[in-house]
Amino acid sequence: MSQYQTATILGLGVTGFSVVRYLHGLGFDVTVMDTRPAPLLASELKRDFQDVRLVLGGFDTNALIESSLIIISPGISLATPEVREAKRAGAHIVGDIELFLEANSQPVIAITGSNGKSTVTSLVGEMCEAGGLKALVAGNIGLPVLDAITDNVDYQVAVLELSSFQLETTNTVSADAAAILNVSADHLDRYDSMGDYLLAKARIFRGTRQAVLPRHDAQLEQVTNASTKLSFALDEPANDSEFGVQRVSGTRWLHKGKQRLMKLRDVPLMGLHNIKNVLAAFALVDFLSLPVTSLVSAVESFHGLPHRMQTIANVNHITWVNDSKATNIGAASTALLNIESDIIWIAGGQGKGADFSELKEAITSQIKLLLVLGEDGAELHDALYGSLPIERVETMREAVFMASDYALNNSSRDTVVLLSPACASFDMYQNYEARGDDFSSLVSDWQMRGAV
């Protein structure tokens, strides 16, 4: 970026503010624009960076057209008319990840996917730490990447969770190892097709030396030209480039080729999909040649992240599972297909343009009742009507108490009440965390009312 002296930052959220700190420290003349009339960080910007020009309530098209360097926040689409005009005028448009990678000198592990990327990113960070390396876990999770540069954070490997939005504005990742964990329908309110969404994800392999992919996924295998490919799946690995599961004397083991890594039963995470996540994590750190015993220890002590298949209560043969992070069809389908008990399923919210009929592939006789709520609850109801028993509810409280009544009165075996919405949360909550917290709080309330 040495050829530029001025920059325009679009979006004054946490990412945008971190870009201001970084570029201002490099001596750039900075302008910030935000479509909101009063973003939360506006007062902090004015206090700490009085010489930064701030434009609120919309994007100044004429100023953007004159900009040579634009840093765009992930929540702003490249299809925004003012951004398109600036690009046609010759502006160089990037995101914060591009700026970080230009400044970074340490090995990079990059992870994307429709589902599971936060779990894998966090686990990879724990594995690196267990192996004796200081890990920076950042990107779409944790610390904004540029804050690590600005604040001189000491790290030996950068573990980056990257969303499709971040990858859109990253020209070359050049990771030492990078993974696409999976691709399923998501963000179709932003992309014209699944093909466009996949191509955005595939940018993670630009310049990558070692690609990590789910085995047997021909579509994903076609989107990388990395010099080395490693794969993961739940079947038996055929060679040292494959990570999988093998049964030995009645015990299932996680393997790299013929090498035993750890017993499957020692993985503390719920669901077979999380076994895939663990295998992907082993593959991603393979190039570092860390001690296997240290890696296994990290897995054994890793109990996952909140709101991701998180067991929050287990009383009266009812297990309550908070999977609020399941904001798309693929995540909810994975959850449903990896539970062996009877299921009462709570779903709904903002569908983001998804085709809910695709959920029919995950409908089994184990799902005894679906409770739908939220903005697109009616659409979800109509798409799955006839496939399973469905009831409409207006609030999460109603869903929790109806689920408990049904489980106590209509089931003679263990039952899982699963919040796995297949939708975004913004119609009813600030974010998926707030939705999961409300669910957990209501379950606690149910317990205190005498369920136990």
Q: Is-catalytic flag, 338?
A: no
Ranges of each domain in the chain: 6-94, 98-300, 310-451
At 188 the pLDDT is 60
Active site residue 117: yes
| Fold designation for 310-451 | Protein-Tyrosine Phosphatase; Chain A (3.90.190)
Q: Reply yes or no on whether the pLDDT at 281 is more than 60.
A: yes
* pLDDT band (50, 70, 90) for residue 187: low
Query: How much is the pLDDT for 451?
Result: 52
Spell out the residues 6+ positions from residue 432 whose beta carbon is closer than 8 angstroms to its own: 307, 324, 325, 327, 421, 424, 425
CATH of domain 6-94: 3.40.50.720
Strand partners, 200: none
Q: Is the pLDDT of residue 69 over 90?
A: yes
pLDDT of 153? 96
* Calpha distance 56→62 (Å, rounded): 15
Distance CA 447, CA 336 (A): 24
pLDDT for 189 equals 64
Alpha carbon 113 to its chain's center: 7
The active-site residue, picked from 104, 140, 322, 328, is 140
Catalytic residue among 115, 187, 256, 381: 187
Give yes or no: 325 in active site: no
What pLDDT is stored for residue 311 in this prediction? Answer: 84
Residue 310: its pLDDT value, please? Answer: 87
Residue 225 pLDDT greater than 90, yes or no: no
Identified catalytic residue from 117, 201, 255, 256 = 117
Bigger pLDDT: 316 or 8? 8
CATH number of 98-300: 3.40.1190.10
Mean pLDDT of 174-180: 97
Residue 185: what pLDDT? 59
Per-residue pLDDT at 196: 83
Say yes or no to pLDDT of 160 above 70.
yes
Q: Give residue-wise pLDDT tens across range 77-101.
A: 999 999 999 999 999 999 999 999 9
* Amino acid 452: pLDDT: 42
